[in-house]
A and B are shown apart, each in its own frame.
Chain A
């Protein structure tokens, strides 16, 4: 595909295997910021931002390193939300098991949709993932256990491992932070592993990767399932935090939102999705009373990013500092 390189790479030598020191510093700063933040900023907002940051990191694994634009990632976020909410509320499962159930459910869904979608490339891949996600949306609209337009409400947060009461805000916050950091480090490890290098090779030149003996479809599918599972982890956590699973999270506009976060933060950067998610969720929180203007603002950010700001916030920063972030 001509110009595929332009999609994600911020004109920098990708960090070779092994963490670079400055990335460790930035990571420590990020952790410190998130540890202090709940004492300064409204914690519910932060938990929402963390869930979406994990979601965006999962999405970035596919687009930024695999070159695969999935336009249906809401399917995994939303379906995991439904599964976790149902497990916690109807079956009375503890929160950790409910979230694991949601994650596994999303991984299974990712396996099915991924296996279909990787049969086509580029633009078709985006359209297929979008269409299959829309199919899941209609399924969730009609299926009896999702509660239709109402969703699943009043999901109990429960006791984490039977000892930590998640009804209190701070324990819930640090649980979400731990889940986010685990997901973030898994993504980081993945993209800096030999697996991640092969994934990038496939993005750059699929026929050549094939000729070198790497089964491209195999790698793409694993990346897809991993991304779906991590999106499911975000969705399941989100359902427990907000005690709600609803149609919003399976709708195509949610799929668009995660693309927006990743694009704004910087495609193919390690920290970009986190920055993008915090900015977008912040914007939405402040603009919430403006109604449909939120959509207009989101659209405008898309247009500006694509026309003039393709590296995103972190990508531009990385270029300025001449270090990959």
Chain B
């Protein structure tokens, strides 16, 4: 017994917390990257996460391509859709107040979720865990399902790779420079509009990856991203959108805290992240890793 809680229950919830945390981290990372360059809060993010899971489902049902193909193809497909969205619609809004971007992406999210709900209803569609990752291993204090371990390791790897590209490579330095001063970077001969398009596509692709990872855990559901995205917004406010590593740390950390709350005070598990957000706003309005504007 640890603090009056059976260790299986404690570690079980911590594991669920880490899983949720990996989705928070990947989604808030995508939002941060998009916000950095486009100054738009992508409200469609939840719908794009859902579309990632659905692409995996379609690939399996329609073409017979399994999980590993989905992990590769879903982000590409959803990313391309994102690129089209940026080119056709978002691009027109850059000269306007940022709030219009929020309203447009909110509307697009409603359309996408409504269309999927018309076609597939509100109940979840099952998606099997890939055969290589079924089963689990006994760690002595708990049984760790292989697929969940994979989700944590893979999403951590994706997050760290994103951090490395943005903070440590030449491409990333262009990106950071364009975030600071797009006009100057363009004057140096970098094609900033194309960079913006690709950045949006990349952020959206991250959401789709998270969707594919989530498909075997939560089932594939047209509304799977609708409530999640609001929690992710709170995560983003807590972390502050200034720092890539900040998004990753905040995402995983809040997932863990949520898991712990489920053990010690389950009634508050839905709201704990929002309460933390309120506290952070009181103490450090710019967010834990954010810069004051």
Contact with A along B190-208 (1 / 0, CB 8 A): 0000000000000000000
Contact with A along B117-129 (1 / 0, CB 8 A): 1100000000000
B291 CB-CB contact with A under 8 Å: no
Contact call B230/A134, Cβ cutoff below 8 A: yes
Contact call A306/B110, Cβ cutoff below 8 A: no
Contact call B278/A132, Cβ cutoff below 8 A: yes
Interface of B is mostly: helix
Contact call B285/A123, Cβ cutoff below 8 A: no
Question: Could you say which residues of chain B place their CB within 8 Å of the CB of A263?
Answer: 103
Contact call B281/A119, Cβ cutoff below 8 A: yes
Contact call B102/A69, Cβ cutoff below 8 A: yes
Contact call A303/B108, Cβ cutoff below 8 A: yes
Contact call B100/A128, Cβ cutoff below 8 A: no
Contact call A131/B104, Cβ cutoff below 8 A: no
Q: In the assembled complex, how far is the CB of residue B154 from the closest CB belonging to chain A, in whole angstroms?
A: 28
Contact call B99/A69, Cβ cutoff below 8 A: yes
Number of interface residues of B (CB under 8 A): 44
A127 in contact with B271 given A302-B103, A310-B100 (CB within 8 Å) = no
Contact call B281/A292, Cβ cutoff below 8 A: no
A188 CB-CB contact with B under 8 Å: no
Q: Give bound CA distance, A1 to B99, whole Å.
A: 11
Question: Could you say which residues of chain B place their CB within 8 Å of the CB of A69?
Answer: 99, 102
Contact call B282/A306, Cβ cutoff below 8 A: no
Question: Could you say which residues of chain B place their CB within 8 Å of the CB of A121?
Answer: 293
Chain B CB within 10 Å, residue with most, of A69, A131, A292: A131
Q: Give bound CA distance, A142 to B268, whole Å.
A: 10
Q: In the assembled complex, how far is the CB of residue B87 from the closest CB belonging to chain A, in whole angstroms?
A: 13
- Residue ID in chain B nearest A308 by CB atoms: B92
Q: In the assembled complex, how far is the CB of residue A137 from the closest CB belonging to chain B, in whole angstroms?
A: 9
Within 8 Å by CB of A293, from B35, B96, B118, B281, lies B118
Q: Enumerate B268-282 residues with CB–CB distance to A below 8 Å.
A: 270-271, 274-275, 277-278, 281-282
- Residue ID in chain A nearest B95 by CB atoms: A3
Contact call A127/B118, Cβ cutoff below 8 A: no
A6 in contact with B234 given A135-B274, A292-B117, A295-B110 (CB within 8 Å) = no
Contact call B274/A132, Cβ cutoff below 8 A: yes
Contact call A256/B110, Cβ cutoff below 8 A: yes
Contact call A295/B113, Cβ cutoff below 8 A: yes
Contact with B along A1-22 (1 / 0, CB 8 A): 1011011000000000000000
Question: Could you say which residues of chain B place their CB within 8 Å of the CB of A7?
Answer: 96-97, 99-100
Contact call A302/B41, Cβ cutoff below 8 A: no
- Residue ID in chain B nearest A138 by CB atoms: B270
Contact with B along A285-306 (1 / 0, CB 8 A): 0000001111110111111011
Q: Give bound CA distance, A123 to B22, whole Å.
A: 24
Contact with B along A118-140 (1 / 0, CB 8 A): 01111110111011101100110
- Residue ID in chain A nearest B113 by CB atoms: A295
A128 in contact with B237 given A121-B293, A256-B110 (CB within 8 Å) = yes
Q: A3-B97, A7-B97, A126-B102 are in contact. List 14 more A-B contacts (CB 8 A).
A: A6-B97, A7-B100, A124-B237, A126-B41, A130-B230, A135-B274, A141-B270, A259-B103, A293-B118, A295-B114, A298-B110, A299-B114, A300-B107, A302-B107
A residues near B (Cβ < 8 Å) are: 1, 3-4, 6-7, 69, 71, 116-117, 119-124, 126-128, 130-132, 134-135, 138-139, 141-142, 252, 256, 259, 263, 291-296, 298-303, 305-307, 310
The 7 closest A-B pairs by CB, nearest first: A302-B107, A299-B110, A295-B114, A299-B111, A135-B274, A296-B114, A131-B234
